[in-house]
Structure 1
Amino acid sequence: MEEEAAAAAVPPIIDLGDFPNQLDGLRRACEDWGCFRVVNHGIPEELTSDMKRVVRSLFDLPRDVKERNRDIIAGSGYMAPSEKNPLYEALGLYDMGSSDSIHTFCSQLDANPDQRDTIVRYAKAIHDLVMEIAARTAECVGLRGDLFKEWPCQFRINKYCFTPQSVGSLGVQLHTDSGFLTILQEDENVGGLEVMDKTGSFVAIDPQPGTFLVNLGDMAAIWSNGKWCNVRHRVQCNSSAIRVSIATFLLGPKAEPLEAPSVFIDSESSKIYNPVEYEEYRKLRLSTKLQAGEALAFVQCQK
């Protein structure tokens, strides 16, 4: 019985090579967990390994070079260790679906031809995967079409410098992602990611090489009229080691407010959230310092 309980505490696995058979399982994963693993995603292990190698080399760059990686929106560029997150460092770009943005990112960091080639190939593969997974989440509630085609995909590479003194502390505070969904390539050797389940308990997410972890964020909660879980998560320092991860965030529509489609609204489920633009909501989270989904209360419909 204990083994069965432990197995039930693992986020679901979605086989991207087995649709439409996976649609019901995907819908339940969105509702019950707000996160799931994807397998049979079609991205070669060689490419993910090459990208991880490039990521480590980029973090080894001098501080003044990394600081050229400027923000387009807050948090999209270089993030140095801070008082709040002293163990954390990040680099990124605002929209990995844009070839110009990728070129700028590579140029800012003086990427050599090999690094640039790997980044370009990885960005294309991951962007395609983001769009496929987003389309599948819509399909699981009966919606089809290029609903997310123009949405920006923010790219962020993360480094956690865990030390013996930091073991037992947090690498990153409890939060939800502000966007629609996140695809994470985890560190294959160093864990520490924890998600909160519906009971409020934390579940450790152990790395599983060859898979990607998908988290749903606040935009998914708004889009689903509150039916999907915007999963709360954090990074715990469990060992003295360098931890590196690669995240891609499907944010929200650029030029129009996001609101729940009619499939989520009926006589028993009235509209919960007002239409809101992603950038407006992101700024609301920053100004209120409410980073774990609490800012959704500010865009709720008045009863």
Structure 2
Amino acid sequence: MDQERETAGIVSGFVPVIDLSDRRSAHGRAVLAAAIGEACARSGFFTIVGHGVPRPLVERLYTTTNAFFRLPDAEKAAVASGPDVSGFRRSGGTTAQSLDQKTPPDLCEAFGVHVTGELSARERTGLGDYRAPWKLANAWPSAPTDFTTTWHEYMSVMTELSADLMRLFALALELGEDFFDDRFDRHLSSLTANYYFPQIESPLPGQLRRGPHTDFGALTVLYQEDDLTGLQVRTDTGEWRDVPAVPGSFVVNIGDLMARWSGGRWVSTLHRVVNPEGGDTSSRLSVPFFYQPNHDAPAGPVRSLTSPDDAQNPSETAGQWIATKMQKLFAPAP
């Protein structure tokens, strides 16, 4: 089996590197599903190569997004968001607050949109009877001129890739490959850019570029610069490990909801983005695509993956779960 994995381009480790090139054949998908299942049970993180996302598209995304964050403050403020998450935010939030930990605001700016932000106002009002960012219209900047079209194209490609990863997840959990399809046919996915601006002043005690947190939904596909990292994942012994920046790759991790669906077989792991070492005043850009299910998808474990005695709230929805976490994330910092 080890030889088979090496042939398939799978490099083991706490955050393994998995080559998706052979995901078109039944045998290849079985090997990949097994490796993904092992990674999700151990760390909840893995790095993918051979994913098929066109390199020119990724380069356009990086160039146009980086150019947006370097615009004058007044131009970025024209698409600034309010108390919910849509458009530009001077502060990317305080991620540790989602776990009820009190820290200073994260040292980053952010811009985000949802796939549902392109729906009509009437359609958006039907996405849950509670406050949620996916019920807002997207606020697009007028510059750079190719920003909106590039982001739309990138979201479409990420949706296709994420849907296939969910099918591999289903195989890894010994479910039908299309098991999760109808939980994402009206998905709430979002694309967010985190701009970690140069740190000219010393951070406050406990202040990081991104504080420790878990993601909330099903899965995240993260673009990070090829030569810059800072992303760390915590092991079950409490040790923080760097996630290397592998050229041409994406980092994939599962969120709380996927861990719940798995009946606890898989883990949604704490991660953070640390500050650069002293004297490093470079900026860094990362762009996570959060693949979020339908607002009314169930939030509890898949019944076949848990025992009948496990406590669960059958009426809680994925939308309610994610919205509660998001409200904590963007609550005013202490």
Q: Is the 8 A contact 2:140 2:148 kept in 1?
A: no
Distance in 2, Cα, partners of 1:193 & 1:51: 20
Q: Which of 133, 141, 154 in structure 2 is aligned with 1:109?
A: 141
Instruction: From the superposition, tell whether residues 10 and 97 of structure 1 become closer, same or farther in structure 2 (CA, over 3 Å).
Output: farther
Q: CA RMSD in A?
A: 3.0
Provide the TM-score with structure 1 as the length reference.
Answer: 0.81
Within-5 A mapping of 1:1-303: 9-18=13-22, 19-69=29-79, 71=81, 74-81=84-91, 84-85=104-105, 87-95=107-115, 105=138, 108-141=140-173, 142-145=175-178, 146-147=181-182, 148-163=184-199, 165-166=201-202, 170-239=208-277, 240=280, 241-266=282-307, 270-275=309-314, 276-285=316-325
Q: Select between 242-251 and 76-85 the one with higher mean Cα deviation.
A: 76-85
Instruction: From the superposition, tell whether residues 96 and 206 of structure 1 become closer, same or farther in structure 2 (CA, over 3 Å).
Output: farther
Instruction: From the superposition, tell whether residues 179 and 228 of structure 1 become closer, same or farther in structure 2 (CA, over 3 Å).
Output: same
Distance in 2, Cα, partners of 1:80 & 1:290: 12
Which runs of 5 or more residues in structure 2 are unaligned? 1-10, 23-28, 95-103, 121-133
Measured after TM superposition, the shift of residue 238 of structure 1 is 2.3
Provide the TM-score with structure 2 as the length reference.
Answer: 0.74
| Partner SS for 2:31 | coil
Q: Is the 8 A contact 1:33 1:229 kept in 2?
A: yes
Measured after TM superposition, the shift of residue 31 of structure 1 is 0.8
Distance in 2, Cα, partners of 1:73 & 1:212: 30
Q: Select between 173-182 and 87-96 the one with higher mean Cα deviation.
A: 87-96
Measured after TM superposition, the shift of residue 10 of structure 1 is 3.9
% identical equivalent positions: 25
Distance in 2, Cα, partners of 1:53 & 1:288: 31
Q: Is the 8 A contact 1:186 1:207 kept in 2?
A: yes
Instruction: From the superposition, tell whether residues 162 and 14 of structure 1 become closer, same or farther in structure 2 (CA, over 3 Å).
Output: same
Q: Return the letter of the residue paired with 1:124.
A: S
Q: Is the 8 A contact 1:191 1:238 kept in 2?
A: no
Q: Is the 8 A contact 2:189 2:292 kept in 1?
A: yes
Deviations along 1:78-111, one digit per CA (max 9) or x if unpaired, are 221379335210001022795889xx75x63004
Distance in 2, Cα, partners of 1:119 & 1:143: 32
Measured after TM superposition, the shift of residue 272 of structure 1 is 4.2
Structure-2 residue corresponding to 1:301: none
Count of aligned pairs between the two proteins = 280
| Partner SS for 2:155 | helix
Instruction: From the superposition, tell whether residues 281 and 68 of structure 1 become closer, same or farther in structure 2 (CA, over 3 Å).
Output: farther
Measured after TM superposition, the shift of residue 219 of structure 1 is 0.8
